[in-house]
Amino acid sequence: MQALLETAPLAAFVVAYYLHGLYAATATLMGAMLALLAVDLALTRRVPPMHSLSAALVVVFGAATLLLHNRRYIEMKTSVFCWLVSAAFLASLWIGKRTLVERLLSALLGAALGSDIRLPGPLWRRLNWTWVLFYAAIGCANLVVALRASERFWVNFNVFGLTLATMAFLVLQVVWLMRRIEPAARDSSAEAG
């Protein structure tokens, strides 16, 4: 359900783009992101920080795109978002007891396995660095595509290319983690099954 909610604004954007063009798609995306925040509040009584950040950027860059009638603003939103996420992962190396990737993936895998995920701190830090670099790189890739490719290519790259790249990266991270989970976590999940 959560994955469907998170992809709904992107789906609305791409449908509006192919039916009415970039400016209509930008307005649709703005409305869809605000609707996502309302659904978050209604279902969970809280808004995930990533949704808040993305919605704020969509509203600011979307408004600039519509008011100035310049597509570059909405094209830059993805890069800014990725660089801010990269900075958050980087900051988590020094702020807090656990890195951001440890907080995100240990909860995800812990729920799937039915036990806590334990890895040595240096492995979590190394994994966190890969997220820093990944988000910085896709932010740069978006910038290159936005500045050098056609509008249609940028839309397809954003909707399909970056989505698939992020999914593949996440799957690789989970596989990497599953090979390094301490035996106690694996044994308890095997006994539960």
d(CA 133, CA 1): 29
Q: 3-state class of 99 per DSSP?
A: coil
Give the tens place of pLDDT for each residue, 52-106.
Answer: 999 999 999 999 999 999 999 999 999 999 999 999 999 999 998 899 998 888 8
CA distance 36 to 57: 14
Dump pLDDT digits (tens) for 3-15: 678 889 999 999 9
**CA pair distance 47, 155, nearest whole angstrom:** 27
What pLDDT sits at residue 109?
Answer: 75
Mean pLDDT over residues 137-155, rounded? 98
Give the residue extent of every domain in the chain. Answer: 1-70, 71-185
pLDDT at 64: 98
The answer to whether the beta carbons of residues 180 and 123 sit under 8 Å apart is yes
pLDDT tens for each residue of 176-185? 888 877 654 4
Residue located via tokens 């670099």: 133
What are the tens digits of pLDDT across the range 26-48? Answer: 999 999 999 999 999 999 999 99
pLDDT at 118: 76
Q: What is the pLDDT of residue 175?
A: 86
| pLDDT bracket for residue 121 (50, 70, 90) | confident
Helix (H, G, I), strand (E, B) or coil at 44: helix
Rounded to two decimals, the pTM is 0.87
pLDDT for 190 beyond 60: no
Give one DSSP letter per residue of 119-161, joined into a string. Answer: --HHHHHHHHHHHHHHHHHHHHHHHHHHHHS-HHHHHHIIIII
- When comparing pLDDT for 87 and 188, which is higher? 87
Angle at 43 between CA 29 and CA 83, to 5 degrees: 45
CA distance 103 to 89: 11
For the stretch 46-72, what's the b/e string if a residue is b when 16 or more beta carbons lie within 10 angstroms of its beta carbon? eeeeebeebbebbbebbebbbeeeebe
| Alpha-helical regions (H) of 45-120 | 49-68, 72-91, 100-113
Cα dihedral sign, 183-131-172-170: positive
Q: What is the pLDDT of residue 155?
A: 97
